Each structure stands twice: as structure tokens, then as C-alpha cells.
């Protein structure tokens, strides 16, 4: 299972929110690049970079941060937050993103999202399926849609999606453990999907459990920044997985 630390950006700084609520913002580092370099120094290969300003503004904002990290580390970056147009995608990929994540766009403008899948291929486009009570949430989680999580992902798998990041919003940033039952249910009902678990990771012991149920990757945020999970633990996990 891939370990994918998260860097969320507001005003060019590394922050975390609780349940996607912008009023809970906590700044952890003024320099996302510094944070990314530390991840890389501990053997991390992947990074989940979220443009929270972009999610709010509905267009890419913090592409300079993406560019700095992509040009000064070897991290494979998936980038999301407010990507709505072909121009946003062009900027993201030109700034160094390996993959992009589309969430709200997949709900509100499915034709554009499908066109990206065709144009760039399923290895480059991740479906962001963020949910509250198994209903898809959109617009930086400020709105709940009427789309049910599992049928939503199933429909997009038929369109060629292979990677899905699923965040249970009720868990996100709460450090109370991830939604094991939800992920198990998704994997039981949607075989062959590459599921990336996100939200609620609070201790190292949860990571092997997510691997065991079949998650392809897991995104870890606040647990790292609050020192619930140490960089050494992540480094050892990566080394042991490689054996």
C-alpha cells in the first residue's frame, strides 16, 4: 500500500482543517516545500497536494507551490482543489503534477471530467469521491449532493476510472480513525478499483489494517503534523514493504 502524505495549502502555507471547515484552519508550516523535502528525506515517494484556495475559488490558485515542490523534489504529486477547466489542468500538469484529482467537477460537469479521462488516460485522472453519510459532497465540502457514493464510483469505473480517493468527511482531521467499514464495503462492491483511503488516520496501527482490506494507498495528514505518527514509522513501513 502506498503511503501518501498530504499538504493542504491556504495562502501558500501548509495548513490542516477539521471536516473541511475553513474556520478550523491551523497553520503547520509557512513553507510547503520544506515539508515536502522532509517527506522525501524519509523515503516517501508520493504527495497529495490540495489547493484549498483553489477549491474555494473554483479555479487553480496555488500552482506556484506545486511547481516549487515538483521542481525541487522527486515526489510524485497528485494535485487537486478547484480544477474546473482544461486550462486548470494544463497549468497543473505543466507545473509538475503527476496526477490530478477531480471531485466537484465529476458531479457538476461530468462531461468535462469524462473528456479529461479520454484525453489524459485513467492513470492521470483520480476521481475524488468525498462523502458524508455515503452522499457525495462538493465545493470544498461546503455542499452535499444527492449522489450516493457507491453508485457514483461504479458509474465512473464504467467510464474508465481506476483510481479513487475516498474521504469520509465526518472523520477528516478528527484523529478518530478511518472508515474501515466504508472502505471494506466499497472494495466488496467495486472490485478492481484502486482505492485510496483518506480521512481520520490517527495511529500507525491503522495503516496495516487499511492495507489488509485492500486499499491501494492511504493519505495521511494531521496525524503526521500532530506527531501521532512519526516519520520514522513511515520510513520503516516503506522499507519493510519493499522487502
* Cα pseudo-dihedral 102, 105, 109, 111, rounded to 10: -10
**Residue 181 appears among annotated catalytic residues:** no
**Residue 8 appears among annotated catalytic residues:** yes
The catalytic residue among 8, 88, 168, 172 is 8
Query: 22-54: string of b/e by CB count within 10 Å (b at 16+)?
Result: eeeeeebeeebbebbeebbebebebbbbbbbbb
Q: Cβ contacts of residue 62 below 8 Å, gap of 6+?
A: 9, 12, 51, 53, 54, 81
The catalytic residue among 88, 130, 168, 172 is 130
Active site residue ranges: 8, 130
Amino acid at each position: 500500500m502506498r503511503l501518501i502524505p498530504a499538504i493542504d495549502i491556504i495562502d501558500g502555507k501548509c495548513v490542516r482543517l477539521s471536516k473541511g471547515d475553513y474556520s478550523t484552519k491551523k497553520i503547520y508550516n509557512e513553507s510547503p516545500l520544506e515539508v515536502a523535502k522532509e517527506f522525501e528525506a524519509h523515503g516517501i515517494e508520493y504527495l497529495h497536494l490540495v489547493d484549498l484556495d483553489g477549491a474555494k475559488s473554483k479555479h487553480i490558485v496555488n500552482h506556484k507551490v506545486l511547481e516549487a515542490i515538483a521542481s525541487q523534489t522527486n515526489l510524485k504529486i497528485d494535485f487537486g482543489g478547484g480544477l474546473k477547466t482544461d486550462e486548470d489542468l494544463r497549468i497543473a500538469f505543466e507545473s509538475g503534477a503527476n496526477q490530478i484529482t477531480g471531485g466537484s467537477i465529476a458531479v457538476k460537469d461530468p462531461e468535462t471530467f469524462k473528456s479529461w479521462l479520454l484525453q489524459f488516460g485513467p492513470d492521470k485522472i483520480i476521481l475524488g469521491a468525498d462523502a458524508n453519510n455515503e452522499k457525495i459532497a462538493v465545493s470544498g465540502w461546503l455542499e452535499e449532493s444527492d449522489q450516493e457514493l457507491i453508485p457514483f464510483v461504479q458509474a465512473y469505473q464504467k467510464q474508465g476510472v481506476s483510481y479513487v480517493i475516498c474521504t469520509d468527511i465526518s472523520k477528516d482531521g478528527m484523529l478518530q480513525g478511518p472508515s474501515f467499514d466504508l472502505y471494506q464495503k466499497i472494495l466488496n462492491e467495486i472490485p478492481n478499483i484502486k482505492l485510496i483511503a483518506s480521512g481520520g488516520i490517527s495511529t500507525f496501527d491503522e495503516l496495516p489494517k487499511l492495507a489488509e482490506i485492500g486499499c491501494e494507498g492511504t493519505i495521511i495528514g494531521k496525524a503526521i503534523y500532530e506527531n501521532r505518527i512519526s516519520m520514522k514509522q513511515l520510513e520503516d513501513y516503506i522499507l519493510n514493504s519493499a522487502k
